[in-house]
Amino acid sequence: MPDRLRFVDVCSGAGGLASGLEEAGFSPVLLLDNKPQARETLLANRPHWNVICEDLVQFLPDEHPETLDVDLLSAGLPRVKASAAVGRAHSDQELRLLTATILLLHSIRPRALLLENLPALIDSPAYAGIRKFVEAELTHLGYRFHWFVLNAANFGVPQERRQGILVALKERWFHAFVPPEPTVDEYVPVGRVLLPSMRSRGWRDAEAWAAQASAVAPTLVGGSENRGGADLGPSGTKRAWARMGVNAGSLADEVPGPEYAWPRSDDPALMVKITVDQAALLQSFPPDWRIMGRKTARYRQIGHATPPPVGRALGASIATALGVVHSP
């Protein structure tokens, strides 16, 4: 078996899952996303990657023979709505993309499948219908499967982010797969991760702010394409941010400078805002990973991404099952 395993990645977005798999010893033969800004982001960081901008539902693997018979098909899919899963809205784009990913197995025939979505897809009765469809297709094609939930915070991501995971493998490799174990003994707090950037322009109170930002962040959400500008989530999420001294109502264009007087107020409107680049750090993208586009588009790419450390841990477990082990 070759040293590098080959994979196809669909709904690639900003490349969080793909870059994590790359660290685990996988090389992409093709990445697919329907948004030009995602393609721009992927090529800005990996100019040699083969990135196709196309609707997954219209994608034909036979026109891309490099995708056939790869080791892994991976997909960090948009979150499927419960209404779609129980059949009340079969036109929902999220359900169409999940279904299209499963149907790709008929052509690509990878040795393994990795699918990431919301935790409720794994165990909620509201999603029983789509799970039944997925399991029937996998069984028909000779795969066995694991459904499980991971929390990105257990893998060093400074964020409470529960993710529903499906890993399916052909019978030959199924029993060798074990879901990844946590890689950190304790959660990484927001303040520790953002302190270097918060003091980068000379803000005198950066250390004091970081000391009280002592918890992991709530889940970053990219939001809908039809929403307004970038913010850090719904009202409950905003309250969690406020407990760490962050105004979650919008994103800053730059971090505070030496002139900024920190009011230390309980009013969220007076609290510090984080930047898009800092949101990327909280999603555990490498500091040099470039997210392309305007501010709102950049934040949405980040919020929708799979944190790279989670992709790396999942990739390492799949690689081990397939018989290739890479040193960290």
**Do residue 298 and residue 311 come from a single domain?**
no
207 and 287 together in one domain: yes
Whole domain around residue 233: which residue ranges? 190-302
In one letter, which amino acid is 116? E
Structure-token pair, residue 2: 């070759």
Same domain? 145 vs 251? no
pLDDT per residue of the chain (328 residues) written in tens, 0 to 9: 457 899 999 999 999 999 999 999 999 999 999 999 999 999 999 999 999 999 999 999 999 999 999 999 999 998 886 554 444 444 488 889 999 999 999 999 999 999 999 999 999 999 999 999 999 999 999 999 999 999 999 999 999 999 999 999 999 999 999 999 999 999 999 999 999 999 999 999 999 999 999 999 999 987 666 555 678 888 889 999 999 999 999 999 999 999 999 999 999 999 999 999 999 999 999 999 999 999 999 999 999 999 999 999 999 999 999 996 554 4
Nearest residue to 213 (alpha-carbon basis) of 235, 240, 190: 190
Do 177 and 126 fall within a single domain?
A: yes
pLDDT digit string, tens, across residues 153-167: 999 999 999 999 999
CA atoms within 13 A on the CB side of 14: 24
* Partners of residue 76 on adjacent β-strands: 116
Long-range contact pairs involving 172-176 (C-beta distance under 8 Å, separation at least 24):
173/111, 173/112, 173/321, 173/322, 173/323, 174/143, 174/144, 174/321, 176/320, 176/321, 176/322, 176/323
| Angle between helix 36-45 and 295-304 (nearest 10) | 80
In a domain, 327, yes or no: no
How many separate domains does the chain show? 2
Q: Give CA–CA dist 245/231, Å, rounded.
A: 15
29 plus 61 within the same structural domain: yes
| 144: in domain | yes
Rounded to whole angstroms, how far apart are CA atoms 224 and 79?
A: 11
What is the model's pTM?
0.93
Q: pLDDT tens-digit profile of 167-178? A: 999 999 999 999
Domain with residue 173: its CATH number is 3.40.50.150
